[in-house]
Amino acid sequence: MTDYRQRFDAIRGLSMHSVGDRPKVDITAVKQGGYIEFGGDSFQVVKLNRYLEVKWEDFSKLKKDYWVTELLLLNLLTGESATIEWEVDDELELSVTIERVSLSDLSFQGKRLKYSDLEDIAEEEEGVVSLKGTKFHYEEDDTWAALYYDENASDHQQVRMMEFSGGGNKSLTVELWEDEGAKPDKEAFLSEDLKPSAVKVLQAGIASEVS
C-alpha cells in the first residue's frame, strides 16, 4: 500500500473537466499517468510494461509481433496496487490480477509443486495443479513465452507463462523467469477475465513508448 502523499498527488492529477468531456476511447489508448475506473474504484496508471510473444523453445521472435500490455495501477481510494493486462487478438481481451499465489500453496499429484513437475507438465502437454482444493487444468494452447519490456529498464527479460484454467473466468499463471546459469525464478498469479465494457477511461495520460 502506498503512502497518503502519493495517493493525494495521484488524485490531484485527475482532471474533472477531462472526465466530463473525454472522448470515447478504450483501454488501448491509456498510457502512464492515465486514469481508469472499474469495479467501482478509480485507478491511476503508474507504470506500463509490455510482453512480446516469442517461440517457447529459444525465445526467438515470431514472424509477426504480438504484444500484451500490462498496466500497473494505484487505487486512488485505498492506495492498494492492481494489475490489468490487455491484448488484441480477434478482439480486445482484458484480465485483472486478483491474487499473488504462494508457490507453497500449489500442489501436483498430492505433493508440493516443484520445477521438475512443471517441466513434466510442459512436456506431456497436460496436468492438473491444485490450489487450496481448487483444481486448475493445464492449457497448452494458452501457454506462451515472451520478452518482457519493463518501462524503466534498458533491456528485456525472458519469461515463460504456463497457463492453467480453473473453469469459469478464473485462471492460474505460473511464470518462469529465465536466470542465466540457474533454474528459472517462479511466480504465480490468479486472474480473471474482464469485459472491455467494464473499464471506463477517465483520462488517457501521457504518451509512453517501450523500445
Average pLDDT of the segment spanning 163-175: 93
**Mean pLDDT, all residues of the chain:** 89
Q: Where are the domains of the chain?
A: 4-97+194-203, 100-193
Average pLDDT of the segment spanning 177-197: 92
pLDDT reading at 152 higher than 50:
yes
Closest to 209 (Cα-Cα) out of 69, 83, 87, 14? 69
- Strand duo 128-131 + 106-108: pairing: antiparallel
CATH classification code of 4-97+194-203: 2.30.30.30
